[in-house]
Amino acid sequence: MLRFVFSPSAVSRETGGELGGAVVGEPSNGVLPAWPVQRVFAPLLGATSAAIHETWLSDHPVRAGRSEGIGWHRADGVLYGTIELNEVDFPDTPGCSSLQAASAEAYRRIFRLLDEQGMPHLWRVWNYLGNINLETGGLERYRQFNIGRQDAFLECHRGATGNVPAACAIGLIGGSLNIAFMAGATPAVPVENPRQVSAYNYPADYGPRSPTFSRAVLVHPEGQEILFVSGTASIVGHQTVHPGDVVGQTRESMANIGAVVGEAARLCRSPAFVLAELSYRVYIRHARDFQKVRDTLKPLIGEAEIVYLQADICRHDLLLEIEAFASHALEN
């Protein structure tokens, strides 16, 4: 069984069974856990501490390893890993930017590891990159990342449509290409949103390659069912709606999450998930919008666990993005 633990001010006090996790914000002493941890060094909004530690724990024995710069832990059919690559190590070449090359290489290494470990199914990916909306060489950096990511999916014989992982891609100020991922021995069940065009079917208006992710997935570690909702924004069909209106975008984002949760209800093996039980991470482009976003979300999700941070979103006209997950036990 997997468990998820928040520790608002320090590393989780749990001992043993740590698969991996993230530190969101920045720890005052700079100390990070010994297990694989993704560093999301972005300003927390409305928090009482400088950093929040998030840890996935397993009830089963954990084995640790390192492969091609990936730190990983695995336990009973689940693997969690992290990798950071510096773009300067991947010089631009004609037709391929340093970010595109780094993205492709990161995913190639991930897929090689998963094949070696017998964990071929990528469930959830968290992607962070610097200056996501900056245009270089005539192409926005997010679009460069999408080319590299899809190149690796195809090269490593993974499909780029249909059964692809849940994911987010978020912009931070500077820093390396920073990826965390969870994978398993069993396939994920992809969940799409009837209000939206699937991201992997976006038209060419959004770049030479479509984003390679599902709107959500259901995954099944032993004895449980986890719903991972990808980064979700104010998009209907494939177009941004409510430009310049952060309240409108917040409501539309939650309408999309509600639609995904409703679709998951058709596919899940456990009782249907509901919005109030999900744990949320909310990325807000402008810190000044925090209070409006929080006030808008409160009546929609009640006392749900939620972390707010300031970060850039994959489209320049999107003001926020929301991701979420929840877990249910499965009866024998």
- The pLDDT tens digits of the residues spanning 179-217 come to 999 999 999 999 999 999 999 999 999 999 999 999 999
User: Which residues, at least 6 apart from 9, have a Cβ–Cβ distance to it below 8 Å?
Assistant: 49, 50, 51
Tell me the Cα Rg of the chain.
18
pLDDT at 9: 54
Tell me whether residue 116 is one of the annotated catalytic residues: no
The CA distance from 233 to 249, in Å, is 7
pLDDT at 69: 97
Q: What share of the chain is helix, strand, coil (3-state, %, to 5)?
A: 25, 35, 40
> What's the mean pLDDT when you consider all of the chain?
94
Determine the angle formed by the axes of helices 290-301 and 246-267, rounding to 10 degrees. Answer: 30
Residues 315 and 199 sit within 8 Å (Cβ to Cβ)? no
Token pair of 77 as six digits: 């059919």
Band the pLDDT of 8: cuts 50, 70, 90: low
Find the catalytic residue in 87, 192, 321, 323: 321
Is pLDDT at 175 greater than 90 in this prediction? Answer: no
Q: What is the dihedral of CA 323, 176, 210, 191, to 10 degrees?
A: -30
The number of angstroms, rounded, from the C-alpha of 178 to the middle of its chain's C-alpha atoms is 11
Give the count of beta carbons closer than 10 Å to the beta carbon of residue 63. 12
Can you give the pTM of this predicted structure?
0.96
**Average pLDDT over every residue of 241-256:** 98
List pLDDT tens digits, range 79-127: 999 999 999 999 999 999 999 999 999 999 999 999 999 999 999 999 9
Is pLDDT at 30 greater than 90 in this prediction? Answer: no
- Tell me which residue of 290, 296, 289, 317 sits closest to 250, measured CA to CA: 296
The CA distance from 135 to 128, in Å, is 17
Is pLDDT at 312 greater than 70 in this prediction? Answer: yes
Question: Is the model more confident about 268 or about 173?
Answer: 268
Q: b vs e for 243-281, b when ≥16 Cβ sit within 10 Å of the residue's Cβ?
A: eeebeebbbbbbbbbbbbbebbeeebebeebebebbbbb
Q: Does domain 2-329 have CATH number 1.10.357.10?
A: no
pLDDT at 22: 95
The CA distance from 21 to 193, in Å, is 27
Band the pLDDT of 331: cuts 50, 70, 90: confident
The type of residue at 83 is: I
DSSP symbol at 201: G
Residues 114 and 187 sit within 8 Å (Cβ to Cβ)? no
The CA distance from 139 to 97, in Å, is 9
**Average pLDDT over every residue of 2-17:** 69
The number of angstroms, rounded, from the C-alpha of 267 to the middle of its chain's C-alpha atoms is 21
The CA distance from 164 to 200, in Å, is 9
DSSP for 141-181? HHHHHHHHHHHHHHHTT--SSSS--EEEEEEESS--EEEEE
DSSP H or E run through 110: helix 98-116
The CA distance from 293 to 247, in Å, is 6
Band the pLDDT of 332: cuts 50, 70, 90: low
Is pLDDT at 10 greater than 70 in this prediction? Answer: no
Percent of the chain with pLDDT over 90: 89
The type of residue at 279 is: S
List pLDDT tens digits, range 44-92: 999 988 899 999 999 999 999 999 999 999 999 999 999 999 999 999 9
